[in-house]
Amino acid sequence: MVDLSLVSLLGLVSPASAIKTIKLKKTPDEDFVGAFFERNAMLMEHAQTAESRFLRLGEGKKENVVINDYANAQYYGVVEVGTPTQEFRVIYDTGSSNLWVPDKTCSCGGFIARKHKFDAASSTSYVEDGSEFKIQYGSGPVSGKFGVDTVTMGDDLAVTGIHFGRISDTSGLGFGYLMGKFDGIFGLGFKSLSIDGVETVFDAAVEQGLLDKPVFAFYLGNDSDGELTLGGYDNTRYTGDLKTVQLSHEDYWQIDIDGLAINGEELDGPASAIVDSGTSLLAMPPSKADAIANKLGAQKMFTGQYSIDCNLINSLPDVTFKINGVDYPLPASAYVLSTGKMCLLGFMGFDMGMGPKYILGDVFMRVYYTVFDVENGQVMFADAAK
């Protein structure tokens, strides 16, 4: 594993040994290419306030959080902090492990994009911590102080005593954060990745008996809202059987893949991959992304992305990952991103050094319903319901 706590598509970050990706976002139409320039854009424009709702499926309590979708490139939901609750739009991110939201003292967003900010004085359940919370991105820091408060998801899943980041400096997220409408990040990774080793919100919810099982699952909508199910999974959101894949490492949701192929031709053999809801694209070594682009007839742009003729979509082959002996094909309708005026491939070349080679982001998770099983150290995949 490389000596990084986060490797973002925005740049490199440290401390603590790990890799991290922040979801890239696209803007509509002609703004799309600019959103990827210098890999410095994340969640662009038109975020909507998500609603939460309570769900019971069979026995045991589960909670559903609506995951809003904008243009198949932004997936975000709502979390509430404090008493009375203060609402924030967050990325529910399996590639990190901390919850952070902007603090009232943060100038982030300015007059261009007003952020929801946490006011500690307005919360009767807030407890001061004061220790430093800091993640160093390549373009600058995201930093602030730890605080402790109640975190609420869905209608009534209130988790007490949560250490979270009150962020006063978001310069490390650059232009993408300034222009975006998201407020913070909600980590669903393992505690081993957590800043200062603080307990994750999900682990705390399980320990406090608020959820039936230490399991959660993502259904990402295709130009429609999706759902994050906490405490189990929803069998109405997939078809066929769930296929189990054991984790190869428990920090990220890291698995081994058998290979990558296109048109039956193997492009790569056994490798490691991260299943990451916080990454919009599918990241891979630059040589593999170039090889796929060449075979599909795509052109590399100065932004590092690959443009392709939209008229080719119906004739393009599947790009297939083999995982634990099972083929997981991605059709062109999943990996070609259309802006209305041009089309881009949903693959990005990204060198992660000694870490995992692939990041199976939203391009993959839109096609395959994904269950994250903390207790058994495994993920499960099935065809997402249409």
Separation between Cα atoms, residue 225 and residue 136, nearest integer Å = 32
Please write down the HEC assignment for all residues of the chain: CCCCCEEECCEEEECCCCCCCCCCCCCCHHHHHHHHHHHCCCCCCCCCCCCEEEECCCCCCEEEEEEEEECCCEEEEEEEECCCCEEEEEEEECCCCCEEEEECCCCCCCCCCCCCCECHHHCCCCEEEEEEEEEEECCEEEEEEEEEEEEEECCCEEEEEEEEEEEEECHHHHHHHHHCCCCEEEECCCHHHCHHHCCCHHHHHHHCCCCCCCEEEEECCCCCCEEEEECCCCCCCEEEEEEEEECCEECCEEEEECEEEECCEEEECCEEEEECCCCCCEEECHHHHHHHHHHHCCEECCCCCEEECHHHHHHCCCEEEEECCEEEEECHHHHEEECCCCEEECEEECCCCCCCCEEECHHHHCCEEEEEECCCCEEEEEEECC
Chain CA centroid to CA 38, Å: 20
Q: Which of 348, 375, 379, 381 is nearest to 255 (CA)?
A: 379
The Cβ of residue 224 has, within 10 Å, a number of other Cβ atoms equal to 9
Q: Which of 279, 320, 43 is nearest to 183 (CA)?
A: 43
Separation between Cα atoms, residue 23 and residue 177, nearest integer Å = 11
Separation between Cα atoms, residue 91 and residue 72, nearest integer Å = 14
Q: Is 93 a catalytic residue?
A: yes
Tokens 């309570």 -> residue: 54
Write down the catalytic residue from 69, 93, 149, 268. 93
Write down the catalytic residue from 212, 276, 362, 373. 276
Q: Which residues are catalytic?
A: 93, 276
